Homo-oligomer: A and B are copies of this chain.
Amino acid sequence: MTQKQEHLSKNQQIVLNLIEKAKGPLKAYSILYNVQKRGIKAPLQVYRALEKLIEIGKIHKIESKNAFIACKNSDCEISKATAFSICNNCEHVKEIKNSKLSKYLSNFEDNSGMKYKKYNLEFFGLCKICKLKQ
């Protein structure tokens, strides 16, 4: 039994704490500004922590926003199947937890002869609240 995900380093823990407390996805440099009081001084320190946290599935990158969000699903698993809903108006982002969807996509095959090991899906639209406002 490996325990890769058990012990986070100091910087990794600092960055993860911040991301987990946040209401939405955070950008790398915004993370940097917010952890400077905790001793992290350079972008690279943040990016290295982010890289590791992504690798072990604690956070995900929202590619269309270059931002990072805590994993709310299967906390300690390496994430190779991610789906998000993104509001075009208020920018609210939420990870979609839907077993039918994930089953469907994990088993998806086309005629390319390619076996997919990982996917990332981003849905865009208006969230409930923004729909009412408009």
- B98 pairs with A123, CB closer than 8 A: no
CB distance from A96 to the nearest CB of B (A): 6
CB distance from A46 to the nearest CB of B (A): 19
For A114, list chain B residues within 8 Å (CB). Answer: 85, 87, 123, 125-128, 131
A115 within 8 Å of B by Cβ? Answer: yes
What is the copy number of this chain in the assembly? 2
A22 and B131 CA atoms in complex are apart in Å by 40
Within 8 A of B (CB), among A56-70: 63-64
For A117, list chain B residues within 8 Å (CB). Answer: 88, 124-126
User: Residue-by-residue, is A107-122 near B (CB-CB < 8 Å gives 1, otherwise 0)?
Assistant: 0101011111111111
When C-beta atoms are compared, the residue in chain B nearest to A104 turns out to be B104
- A113 pairs with B125, CB closer than 8 A: no
The verdict on A125 contacting B118 (CB below 8 Å), with A63-B63, A64-B63, A108-B101 known, is: yes
The verdict on A126 contacting B120 (CB below 8 Å), with A63-B63, A110-B96 known, is: no
The verdict on A116 contacting B125 (CB below 8 Å), with A63-B63, A63-B64, A64-B63 known, is: yes
Most buried by B among A64, A119, A123, A128: A123
The verdict on A122 contacting B119 (CB below 8 Å), with A110-B85, A114-B87 known, is: yes
For A118, list chain B residues within 8 Å (CB). Answer: 123-125
